[in-house]
Chains A and B, each alone.
Chain A
Amino acid sequence: GAGVSQSPRYKVTKRGQDVALRCDPISGHVSLYWYRQALGQGPEFLTYFNYEAQQDKSGLPNDRFSAERPEGSISTLTIQRTEQRDSAMYRCASSLFGTTSGGITGELFFGEGSRLTVL
């Protein structure tokens, strides 16, 4: 597609339910990132992939959160047994370049986000 696509755009769920958020990155992009953004704050790093390999998941808040990118393209962020504190905007971004020892050398392209509300 032309840009990073995230779905659903809005998700309202009851506490205790599982949710899956999907990210379809720009075709051919190597790296894919997940961030969480609270209102009025900057994006908070959750995890990222190079191709299908999850390189860093240090930002995932707890073991209820998981992510996968099985074929190196579409990624799913899953939150199990949702809690009200999980309510936030979840943003996905992709980058043409993979990460190297030289750091992040490419720009990130962000999707419009998935707004999760846990009642």
Chain B
Amino acid sequence: SQQGEEDPQALSIQEGENATMNCSYKTSINNLQWYRQNSGRGLVHLILIRSNEREKHSGRLRVTLDTSKKSSSLLITASRAADTASYFCATDGNTDKLIFGTGTRLQVFP
């Protein structure tokens, strides 16, 4: 079963534009993580945000968390063609296992 759902399922933008992806989840959480996956490769961790945090930054990435709405967003600023990938949120659902969402496929055109 999958805990989260990303929205939109697919997103196409031009280089230099910002990309925003949203994640909704079902149960309370301790932490939420975002991962990136290039074309069938292994997933790569991007950022972790704890349930008591509301916003976190890492380079061109900005993650927000709203536990009252059970949602998170990932913003990639000034996107590059190399950002083309699938992005997944993952939550621990107050358990000790990480459950992934369905993913957003981002296409950045040069």
Q: Which residues of A contact B (CB under 8 A)?
A: 4, 33, 35, 40-45, 48, 55-56, 59, 89, 91, 93, 99-100, 102-105, 107-113
Are B2 and A44 interface neighbours, CB within 8 A?
A: yes
7 A-B pairs whose Cβ atoms sit less than 8 Å apart in the complex:
A43-B88, A43-B100, A56-B95, A91-B42, A107-B33, A110-B43, A113-B42
A33-B88 Cα distance, complex, nearest whole Å = 17
- Are B2 and A103 in touch, CB under 8 angstroms? no
B interface SS class: loop
A56: contacting residue among B35, B43, B97, CB under 8 A: B97
Expressed in whole angstroms, the Cα–Cα distance for A45 and B88 within the complex equals 14
- Interface residues of B toward A: which range? 20 to 34
With A56-B96, A103-B31, A104-B97 known to touch, is A42 a contact of B42 (CB < 8 Å)? no
Q: Is the CB of A110 within 8 A of B42?
A: yes
A43 touches B43 (CB 8 A): yes
B residues near A93, Cβ cutoff 8 Å:
43
In the complex, given contacts A35-B100, A110-B43, what are 11 additional A-B residue pairs having Cβ atoms less than 8 angstroms apart? A43-B43, A44-B1, A91-B43, A93-B43, A103-B92, A104-B97, A105-B30, A108-B35, A108-B43, A108-B98, A110-B42
Contact B92 A42 (CB under 8 A): no
> Given known contacts A43-B100, A56-B96, is B31 in contact with A105 (CB within 8 Å)?
yes
Contacting pair B31 A108 (CB below 8 A): no
B41 touches A112 (CB 8 A): yes
